[in-house]
Amino acid sequence: MATRKRTRRKPTWERAYRGHVLWLGKARLGRVTLADRGRYTWEAAGRTGAVDDLAKAKQAVEVAVATADKQLDLFR
C-alpha cells in the first residue's frame, strides 16, 4: 500500500484593489494597502505598520505571520 506525502501549502500573494493580500487557502493571513503619498500600510497577526516600499511591507507581513504561531518563552 502506497503512502502519500503530505505537501505543505505555501501562502500566496494576490493583487487586490490598492494593495495586496496574503492567502493560505481560503484564510486571509495579512494585507498591504496603498496609503496616501506612496506609503504602504500593512496588517497581519494583530500587528500593523507603515513603510515606503511594497517589498518591505510584504516582508513585514510574512515575518509577522511566521512569528505569530510560535509561543515565546515566558520564564527562562
pLDDT at 5: 81
pLDDT, position 8: 84
Q: What is the 3-state secondary structure (H, E, C) of 6-67?
A: CCCCCCEEEEECCEEEEEECCEEEEEEEECHHHCEEEEECCEEEEECCHHHHHHHHHHHHHH
pLDDT digits (tens, 9 = 90+) for 11-68: 999 999 999 999 999 999 999 999 988 899 999 999 999 999 999 999 999 999 999 8
Q: What is the pLDDT of residue 48?
A: 97
User: pLDDT value at position 76?
Assistant: 59
Would the pTM of this model clear 0.85, i.e. be above it? Answer: no
In this prediction, residue 1 carries a pLDDT of 65
Domain ranges of the chain: 32-69
